[in-house]
Amino acid sequence: MTMSIGFLEFSSIAKGVEAADAVCKAAEVELTFARASCPGKYYVLFTGEVAAVQESLEAGEAIAGGTVVDSCLIPRVHEQVAAAINAAAQPRQVGALGVMEFYSVTAAIYAADAAVKAADVDLVELRLATGIGGKSFAALTGEVAAVREAIDCGIATRQAQGMVLAHVVIAAPVAAVFESLG
C-alpha cells in the first residue's frame, strides 16, 4: 500500500473531536493521532490510500466548518515520516544532526517528507505542535553533505515558505544532544 497522510488543524477543540470522528467514519483510514495542543487547537493526523484520505479530509473539513485553520494531504509520503511522527524512528547510524523548525505543523510534515526523499538521511523525530507552543520541528541525521542537502530541500518546499523559523546542521553533535531527541 502506498501511504498518504491527511492532516487537519482546528481552532476549536470540540469541533476537532467531532471532525476526527467524521474522518474515521468517512473512509478506510487509520487515525495516527487526534489531540488538543498548544495554543488551544486540535490536531488530527491520519493515513491511508490517497482516495480514502481525500474523502476523510473533505468530511473533516465539512463538519468543522470555519474552525479549520489548516489542512493537507500528502500522497505517497515517505515511510520515515510516519515512523518519526509515532516516535518509532531508529536511525541506521548517528552522524551529523539537522533540525528544521517551523511555525506550522503542515510545513514541518511537507519539509520532512521532501528532506528524506532528497537525500540519504534518517528522520529521527518529527514533533508536531505538542508541548512547543504550536510550533513543529523535524530532526534528521546522516552524512554532513546529505543532511545539508536534505535541510535545503526541506525548507525550500513551497508549503514551508514563510513558515521556517530556523534550521541548523551540526556536523558532530555530542551524544547527549542526539539522545535527547526522539
Q: What does pTM read for this prediction?
A: 0.79
Q: What is the mean pLDDT of each run of 10 residues along the chain (182 residues)?
A: 84 94 96 84 91 96 91 86 67 82 89 94 85 83 96 94 92 83 66
Residue 127: φ, ψ to 5°? -95, 120
Which class for 114: exposed (0-12), middle (13-18), buried (19 or more C-beta within 10 A)? buried
Q: Distance between alpha carbon 132 and the CA centroid of its chain, in Å?
A: 14
State the pLDDT at residue 2.
63
| DSSP character string of 46-93 | EEE-HHHHHHHHHHHHHHHGGGEEEEEEETT--HHHHHHHTT----SS
Cell of 28: 478506510
Catalogue all structural domains in the chain, each as residue range(s) with its CATH number. 4-74 (3.30.70.1710), 79-179 (3.30.70.1710)
Q: Which residues make beta-bridge pairs with 6? A: 46, 73
Tens of pLDDT, residues 71-96: 889 898 888 887 777 665 566 667 89
